[in-house]
Structure 1
Amino acid sequence: MKAVVKRCIRAGVIFILVNILWTDLAYGLEDRYRVAGDSQFPPYEFVDADGVYKGFNVDMLKAISLVTGLEFEFFPMKWEDAYYSIERGQADIIQGMKESEERKSKFLFSDSLLLNSQSIFVLDNNADINNERDLVGKTISLLKEDISYNEIKRKYNVEIIEYESLDGALEALLKGEVDALIGNTLTVNYLCKERNSIDLIKIIGDTINEQRYCIAVDKNNELLIEKLNAGIAEIQKSGMYDSLYRKWFGAPIKNARTRYETLWKVTIVIAFGLLTLVLVVQSFNRKLKRMVDIKTEEQRVLINELRRFDKLQFMDKIISSIAHEIRNPLTSIKLYTTQMKDKLKDEEFILAAAEDIPEEIDRIDGLIKEFMEYTSPRKAIIESFNLYEELMKTIKLVKFHLGNIDLLIDVDKSYYIKFDTGHFKQIVLNILLNSIDAVKEVNHPAIRIRATINNDKITLLFDDNGHGMNEDDIQYIFEPFYTTKEYGNGLGMFVVKQLVDENEGMISASSHGKGTGMSIILEVKRGEPNEE
């Protein structure tokens, strides 16, 4: 009997220890996290017409991945499924959720991504509604089953017409079917931007039902929330957050009430600022310089990291192409060396080997030098070089992947440009590899590179006959994390734009729509042969 009791006690102790240890291990940092999100909540997160999952929340997680090294896998679903996904073991992260006291019992929330709120929208030419009190007796459009229905009905004593979507409620306001719309501030802002009607609407009064909007994880996973918060802080500090916010939410709808308040406040601030500036200008300038230096260094490090990552994503293609190019001279050298023992007395053979082998070795050495120049990090040096020669050297790095593509080069061999050679290689490789991907499924694939000269500028044009892009997509081609590829990361053309700007050039893209091909136009400074 005692032996049985001892065994039971021992089993109980082991069970408790396993549970304690399992809790500690279960919420350690993993290699890859499952991210759940709403499939239809633009512009926060949504699946577009092409089946691509995108939005502000998706881009934020991608940016966090870049600065922290965490890897995420996205699973779009209905909101009610996303809400219970962590509890059901289907996900580790819910990428966007309003914070509330009730939800804090289930989740740990990150630092705020933004403040989610509702606003009162009216037509810009409406002079009858200037504040909340003017809503009494008016007709309001509202999203069906909105959580704030009862509060709005009680507080404003209005007639409410419910709509299946905010887009429908907005359309009713624009058509004059209702007097005002109450809805999510940023979502209505996004819908107005998509409709090109942002100047037709204004906000009256203060925002209502304001709540923090955050990333949510399991309430016990403190390590993960700390890592996510560190990523959010880094993104905000580097300026990437502002870029993503502008990309998805654009310019806000004007607030009629704050328009005059802002003018008054700005006047007071300017007056006080001018007075203060006289007293502290020297100290302020020193502090400002230190802040600018720190900010500049942080952005430089982040941009360099993006460039390094961009190079790595193409490395497998470049290496396979170089391996193919090296195989030919190696075959020639091997042919000579395998016969050399039997032909030592053949003077004609020895002379041919003495001429051909060094040439083949020089070919291999040249390819390796081109590869090393592309991969080796160094400070940018703008110099004058022959455009045609450098272009052909760069094409060698991806020649193997051209396959049956008809590559046409229309570049005058006398043209010189002022640019950093390493940056030029990375730009051309990015554009070429994008074009190669774009023409894969075309019957007669073709890529054309041509150059024109205009005073002190040279314009380099890259044209392909691939699938092209529509106007809605092409405006974001140089934005970070924007891609139409199934497995792309959206950094290539963003890095290209940064490199072109650093070399005082200009770059643009054009397309007449899907199926009409693509054109990339690069404008750079003209160089001279004697400047090399």
Structure 2
Amino acid sequence: MLLYAAESKERRIDVRNPVVLRISIAICVFVSCLFFPSIAYQETKKAIRIAGDNHFPPFEYLSDSGVYSGFNVDIMNAISIQTGINIEYYPMPWNQAVQALRSGKVDAIQGMKYSKAREEVYDFSESYFTSSQAIFVLKDNMYIRQIDDLEGRKVAVQKGDVANDLLNKVNHVQLIEADNQQEAVQLLVEEKVDAFVGNRITGQYFLQKSRQQSLIKIVGEPLDPTAYAIAVLPKNNGLLKLFNQGIDRIKSDGTYEKIEKKWFGEYIMPSAPVLRKTLFYLETGLVITLIIITFILWWNRMLKKEVSKRTKQIERINKDLEEKMVLLKENLYFQKQLLNSAYSSFITLHQAGTVSMINRRAMEYLGLNEKAVGRPFQQTPIVKFIPEQEINAALEDKKMFLQKETTWLQTPSQKRYITYSIYPIKTTTGDSVGVMLNFLDITEQKEFEKKVAQEDRLRSLGQLIAGIAHEIRNPLMSILTYTQLLPKKFANAEFRSFFSQHVSSEITRLNALINDLLDYARPKKSEPVICSLYDVAEGIVRLFKPKIKEKQINIVWEFPEKIEAIADIQQIKQVLMNIIVNAIQAVDEHGTLTIRGYYRGNVAVMQIEDTGAGISEDELDKIFEPFYSRKANGVGLGLSISYQLMKENKGTIDVKSIKGKGTTVTICLPCCRKDEDDVSCYDYR
């Protein structure tokens, strides 16, 4: 190139004087006008407005004298001569030129690099040059070699230049835009950026002109070598025919070659020093090749040694694997012994539903042998007491069934009770590979529980009879005493009145006792409905408001939401009345009674907590027994009846107490509530 003529006269020379070129162009104009007069005067009335960069040498720039010059300008002048079109030039900063074309202020841009993104906006003429970009860095920069190395760096570019499209593909790059490429190059020279990406020829031109080429170097291969052509908007694509005709003619008659040599120079035959330099490079390359071959041979030898070493390692690994296989077999045998010695029965199934393992306990209980392995589970007796649909659900949907109870009629006269669990067998990735069945015969346990329950009922009955005898004896003795005195004091009107009042009172007391006994023995069938625990508790507290006010008890409500349960309202009122009455009686003056409610899963929970004297551990075990009372005149049936009523309503009651600190009574009742897509609801039907 001409740009390098000052650097290396042996490589490039300027073969055309500008004066000679102007004379040649004038001759071409004369010949064109002589032989192509129709073309020469075509569309002379209307000038075509051409925009270009005002600072993009050697392609287009304003010279020091203010003349718009450059390779692109000469190309357009030559096209103008060949086609006879009039051209008006509008030099301006590149980004303004692009805006001028888009807004219709100009008809074309004389030199624009082609890209797919630009093709969507502009129409291009035939290419008359191949333009490429380059990465310019400081001479001492060793870490930037290619475009990917610009990640996270500051890079200078010209506004609107195609380099912006290239760098948009690089992550975290910080673009510093300049009005022209000379300013962008200067930013690099002043070390304000890490690199400059722009036109390869223009960048070198500015560096040589400012004598700064010793500070900057070009790294990597030419970037994006692409066609360079005239650009118009699609609505003006009719101009492209004239431009293409002009480009074809200046290329065919030699004008293009002259313009190219004027601005970029030409290669000449290499001189003797160049040949010596080339020979030196060849010799150096040969030496390097010999070194590489020697290195490859040495490396091959080292690889053989490494292969031998690795072979020995593999042999040792194989030996270790054999030892581990023996250990694995021993572990499997140990696991088999462990399963066979288990009290429960175990059966595992493959994903296809066939038996993969069965322990000795299961074989003895089901009357099977080793031949059962490999058979479908439907052909074994387990389907007689474990539902087949549950096993399929565990195999297909990974469902789990834990501690479920069932019965198995082995013979018409022999009924067995069995508990079973079904576990999906999963891999570390969560994939199902089968299921495990674990079952246990609990018939003897059931019979033992029945025996214990019967003995417990007999013990409770004894306590009940003793309590009844004690409670009935007191009013009967009073009635007997009054009756024996009646003949002696019948004439005494005051005694008769006393007799009538107290005998009636004692009879009423006996009747209430009998009613309590009937409620305890035969609680009525509950009629559950959805009720608000807060409303029930608030009504009972309001009922005992005088007593609460008398003892100045502080009532604390902790109901964060409306708590609803499914229960018989009257029975729950009776339970809460017994609990709240006991709490009021247990609390001293200025004490605190806390009533709280909340949900726990599908259970509604209410707690009544008092700051009373509390109950000892020995007494806590007896509070639900009939006729046990810590009060002087208490009957001891309140909590017993409450316990029965909670069982009738499918609920539970629990008491926790610390002596000297207070007591907390917790009742749990079924409820019906919706949590997102899951509905947990107790079914009474």
Q: TM-score, normalised by structure 2?
A: 0.28
Bigger relative CO (Cα 8 Å, ≥ 6 apart): 1
Q: Report which of the two structures shows the higher radius of gyration computed on alpha carbons.
A: 2
Q: TM-score, normalised by structure 1?
A: 0.35
